[in-house]
């Protein structure tokens, strides 16, 4: 097996004088199925197309984009496995020094808004060649979206990049259809009407029967309009029930959200379109007087989920499973180490966490690979020269989701009005760990396999919903490496509701079961819970409640994750609008850097550096009862030095440096 060509000499080795498709990526080229560009390029190769890769090109001019010549059919562009702004900046908007997806882990090798920059340069280098965006950056920015780094609403990335088409979600089906149309019809092929794609047009088709969203200009002027638009998008992410969506641009002066649009060339009577109504839903409406938009961004319904056989085929393609040899001198690509000895068993997630973009990208319908496919890949891993006997993970977005949430999802789609697990598990939810258990048993029985870990995360509420706790027992017995990471995220009901997470009582029940089982097994294994600071809905009182939980349970978080408002999540919509789009109700949002620092300090109140911030937060919240020397106090008072010097800090306790003491043994 060889990697796809990245140089002219590698093209010549294959006897190629011209590519069919040129793939440009913001990541280093790693030919492994955990990297989106590897899957897309190998799928096209399997269809007989000649595909080459330009990874992390020099974007200061168009020269590097000409390296492999002008492709015959198209240019495919992705910012990488992460949004380029997330890759380049921390939540505090400081540049990152390291980038796990770059050779040697060195940061700064991709531009900000990489998809836009690459598209502009590719157009300069290869005039007349169709440019198609894909990957997570394009997928989550396909409509007008709030951009945290600029603190404003940006247009669809399709318009800003001037690309010809955008592929959203998992793009295997779409890219094959695009490739076939371009091969049969040439560069002028009609690329509209393909599921899982977005295109721009000056007028809607006469037979359009989708939803017209509030215009770009409307959502710029009215945050309520943005919340309603986002809700309509959120309700139309299911491949079986979603309608086409159209976002108008160039309608300055419009104000009424409940209206329809007359496409160019329509009859006087016009057509009826499903439009964004004043309640945030959709309704049928006849044409009304209003300016015709200059442009529409149109989203076709999502691609249908892959069958088990189709997913198996994706993962059976001839990946080299490593980085391109040219990176060896720089020490390789760090991101590979996290997945090199891991197995992806599924995609999609019905968990519904508000801060996660999976609903908009992979969708809520779980698709899984067959046991045979996974066992074949696991066997191949055991034959690698540096395999030490450990499979690092068998999972996906949520490891213990191996099938659709209920039988109706593959017939009529997911519910738009409720989640599968919260606030309580749906009565129709299929709760069964037997398939996943059987898979883990088979993999851990393979020759040369010493241990199989589960590290991609489990939904503990789904575990507890299963009346048979055999999975939890075997998880503790065979698949935990001393620590099990779970994500309760918070303790306050209103914050958990905003997050789409279950009651904290559920987590406490899971703690008890985890502790009980490990005691029976005579294993010393710990729970490592993750918590988020400054999420919409969280105020100082909520953060104090979380700090008190840490105090009462002697828990010292090694790090606290600040909420990061990235495109494509419900939480980001709440952050920008101050509205929960599901209910239309206002929600508290901590916005300033100082308030975020106060909330984060409360969660790390034992750190001496945070003492003055904790005192300030407690004073502002009227909780000075927690400042003092008693057992319930979080910190001691600030003691002023004489002659106006800086205050002396008195931490309530010395932070532990023993890692084992930082982790609770299930309680």
Domains of the chain: 1-202+294-305 (3.40.50.2300), 204-293 (no CATH), 341-481 (3.30.750.210), 487-667 (no CATH)
Quote the crossing angle between the two packed helices 470-478 and 504-521, to the nearest 10°: 60
Question: Helix, strand, or coil here: 258?
Answer: coil
Q: What share of the chain is helix, strand, coil (3-state, %, to 5)?
A: 35, 15, 50
Query: What is the overall mean pLDDT for the chain?
Result: 90
CA 80 to chain CA centroid, Å, is 12
Question: Helix, strand, or coil here: 75?
Answer: strand
In the structure, what pLDDT confidence band is assigned to residue 481 with cuts at 50, 70 and 90?
confident
pLDDT at 258: 33
Query: Across residues 220-243, what is the average pLDDT?
Result: 96
Residue 201 in this model has a pLDDT that exceeds 50: yes
C-alpha 320/C-alpha 665 separation (Å) is 41
pLDDT at 135: 97
How many Cα atoms sit within 13 Å of 366 on the Cβ side? 25
b/e per residue 45-65 (b: at least 16 CB within 10 A): beeebbbbbbbbbebeebeeb
Q: pLDDT tens-digit profile of 10-65?
A: 999 999 999 999 999 999 999 999 999 999 999 999 999 999 999 999 999 999 99
pLDDT at 268: 31
Q: pLDDT tens-digit profile of 254-283?
A: 433 333 333 333 333 333 344 443 333 443
Q: pLDDT tens-digit profile of 383-423?
A: 999 999 999 999 999 999 999 999 888 888 899 888 999 99
What pTM value is reported for the model? 0.89
Residue 592 in this model has a pLDDT that exceeds 50: yes
Residue 663 in this model has a pLDDT that exceeds 90: no
C-alpha 430/C-alpha 215 separation (Å) is 40
Q: pLDDT tens-digit profile of 203-218?
A: 998 889 999 999 999 9
pLDDT at 640: 66
How many Cα atoms sit within 13 Å of 134 on the Cβ side? 27
pLDDT at 657: 38
Which phi and psi (to 5°) does residue 202 adopt? -80, -15
pLDDT at 651: 44
Residue 504 in this model has a pLDDT that exceeds 70: yes
C-alpha 71/C-alpha 187 separation (Å) is 11
Residue 372 in this model has a pLDDT that exceeds 90: yes
């Amino acid at each position: 097996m060889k990697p796809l060509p990245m140089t002219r000499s590698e093209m010549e080795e294959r006897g190629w004088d011209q590519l069919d498709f040129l793939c440009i990526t913001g990541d280093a080229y790693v030919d492994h199925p955990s990297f989106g560009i590897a899957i897309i390029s190998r799928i096209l190769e399997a269809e007989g197309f000649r595909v080459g890769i330009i990874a992390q090109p020099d974007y200061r001019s168009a020269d590097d984009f000409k390296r492999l010549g002008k492709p015959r059919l198209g240019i495919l562009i992705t910012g990488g496995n992460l949004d380029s702004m997330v890759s380049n900046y921390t939540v505090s908007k400081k540049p990152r020094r390291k980038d796990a997806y770059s050779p040697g882990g060195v940061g700064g090798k991709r531009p900000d808004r990489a998809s836009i920059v690459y598209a502009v340069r590719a157009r300069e280098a290869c005039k007349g060649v169709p440019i198609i965006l894909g990957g997570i950056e394009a997928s989550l920015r396909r409509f007008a979206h709030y951009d945290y780094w600029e603190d404003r609403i940006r247009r669809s990335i399709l318009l800003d990049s001037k690309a010809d088409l955008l592929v959203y979600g998992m793009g295997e089906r779409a890219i094959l259809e695009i490739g076939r149309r371009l091969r049969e019809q040439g560069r002028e092929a009609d690329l509209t009407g393909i599921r899982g794609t977005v295109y721009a047009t000056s007028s809607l088709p006469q037979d359009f029967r989708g939803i017209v969203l509030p215009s770009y200009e409307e959502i710029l002027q009215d945050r309520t309009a943005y919340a309603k638009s986002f809700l309509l998008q959120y309700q139309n992410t299911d491949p079986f029930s979603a309608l086409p969506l159209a976002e108008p641009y160039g309608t300055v002066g419009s104000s009424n959200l409940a209206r329809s649009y007359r496409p160019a060339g329509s009859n006087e009577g016009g057509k009826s379109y499903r439009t964004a109504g004043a309640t945030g839903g959709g309704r049928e409406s006849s044409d009304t007087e209003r300016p015709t938009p200059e442009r529409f961004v149109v989203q076709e319904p999502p691609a249908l989920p892959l069958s088990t056989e189709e997913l198996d085929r994706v993962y059976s393609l001839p990946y080299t499973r490593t980085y391109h040899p040219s990176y060896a001198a720089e020490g390789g690509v760090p991101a590979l180490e996290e997945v090199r000895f891991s197995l992806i068993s599924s995609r999609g997630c019905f968990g519904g966490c508000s801060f996660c973009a999976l609903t908009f990208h992979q969708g809520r319908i779980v698709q899984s690979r067959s046991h045979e496919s996974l066992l074949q890949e696991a066997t191949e891993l055991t034959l690698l020269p540096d395999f030490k006997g450990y499979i690092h993970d068998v999972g996906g977005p949520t490891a213990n989701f191996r099938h659709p949430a209920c039988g109706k999802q593959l017939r009529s789609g997911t519910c738009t009005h409720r989640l599968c697990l919260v606030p309580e598990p749906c009565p129709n939810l299929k709760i069964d760990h037997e398939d996943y258990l059987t898979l883990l048993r088979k993999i851990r029985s393979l020759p040369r396999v010493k241990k199989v870990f589960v590290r991609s995360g489990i939904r503990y509420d789904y575990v507890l919903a299963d009346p048979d706790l055999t999975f939890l027992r075997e998880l503790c017995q065979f698949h935990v490496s001393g620590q099990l990471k779970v994500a309760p995220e918070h303790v306050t009901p209103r914050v958990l509701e905003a997050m789409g997470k279950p009651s904290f009582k559920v987590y406490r029940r899971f703690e008890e079961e985890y502790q009980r089982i490990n005691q029976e097994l005579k294993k010393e294994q710990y729970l490592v819970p993750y918590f988020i600071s400054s999420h919409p809905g969280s105020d100082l009182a909520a953060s104090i409640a979380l700090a008190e939980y840490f105090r009462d349970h002697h828990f010292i978080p090694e790090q606290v994750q600040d909420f990061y408002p990235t495109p494509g999540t419900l939480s980001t919509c709440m952050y920008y609008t101050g509205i929960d789009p599901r209910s239309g109700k206002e929600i508290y949002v901590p916005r300033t850097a100082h308030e975020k620092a106060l909330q984060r300090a409360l969660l790390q109140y034992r750190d001496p550096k945070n003492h003055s911030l904790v005192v300030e937060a407690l004073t502002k919240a009227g909780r000075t009862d927690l400042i003092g020397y008693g057992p319930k106090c979080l910190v001691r008072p600030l003691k002023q030095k004489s002659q106006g010097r800086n205050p002396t800090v008195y931490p309530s306790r010395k932070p532990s440096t023993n890692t084992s003491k930082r982790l609770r043994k299930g309680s």
